[in-house]
Amino acid sequence: MKIKVLILLLLLGGFAFGQKKYAVSFEELPLKMTENPKPVVVKIYTDWCGICKIQDKQVEKDIELQQIFAKDFYYVEFNAESRADITFNGRTYRFIPHGTKGGIHELAVALGGKQLSYPCWVLLDPGYYVTARHSGLLKPKQLKALLSSEP
């Protein structure tokens, strides 16, 4: 019994450690914005995107960047192939299937544009207006420069 409890604690501890404390979901965003309006950074990605995984590793290693996300922005990671309906800024967005297995989420297109490539960084002001957009890999220094250009 003690071994099972120990294993459970280790697994839960590892899960909690793996969570990005500086990230919020679209579901949490309205309440957070009511309490403390801030600009929003949305990283649009897909599970199959190798460049997205490289970008994630760079962010995970850069404590200063994580602190910027936590202090000055609401950081949202969004899978462009998510099948869940998402209500954002008063509108419900849905997954649009293409072919037998593929598709894209309407919100990814609305935020990232019609020529969407991954990862796509989208900066929104507190009123949810797009102020900047960048597709592709950004080195941490470049990402910090993009974030510092936010009005």
The pLDDT of residue 116 is 92
CATH for the stretch 22-148: 3.40.30.10
- Of 4-13, 77-86, 121-130, the least confident: 4-13
Strands 74-79 and 40-45: parallel
Distance CA 65, CA 80 (A): 23
Task: Compute the average pLDDT of residues 47-59.
Answer: 96
The pLDDT of residue 108 is 97
Between 3 and 118, whose confidence is greater? 118
Distance CA 143, CA 16 (A): 26
Whether the per-residue pLDDT at 123 is higher than 80: the answer is: yes
Using a pLDDT cut of 70, give the percent of the chain over it: 86
Average pLDDT over the chain reads 87
pLDDT for 61-100, tens place per residue? 999 999 999 999 999 999 999 999 999 999 999 999 998 8
Distance CA 17, CA 85 (A): 28
Q: Which residues of 78-108 are buried (b: 16+ CB within 10 A; e: fewer)?
A: bbbbbeeebebeeeebebeeeeeeeebbbbb
Distance CA 135, CA 44 (A): 9
In eight-state DSSP terms, residue 83 is -
Q: What is the band of 15 on the pLDDT scale with cuts at 50, 70, 90?
A: very low
| Residue spans of beta strands (DSSP E) within the chain | 23-24, 40-45, 74-79, 86-88, 91-93, 95-98, 102-105, 120-124, 130-135
Q: What is the band of 19 on the pLDDT scale with cuts at 50, 70, 90?
A: low
Per-domain residue ranges for the chain?
A: 22-148
Q: Whose CA is closest to 44, among 126, 132, 131, 111?
A: 111
Reading the block at residue 127, the tokens are 């009123």
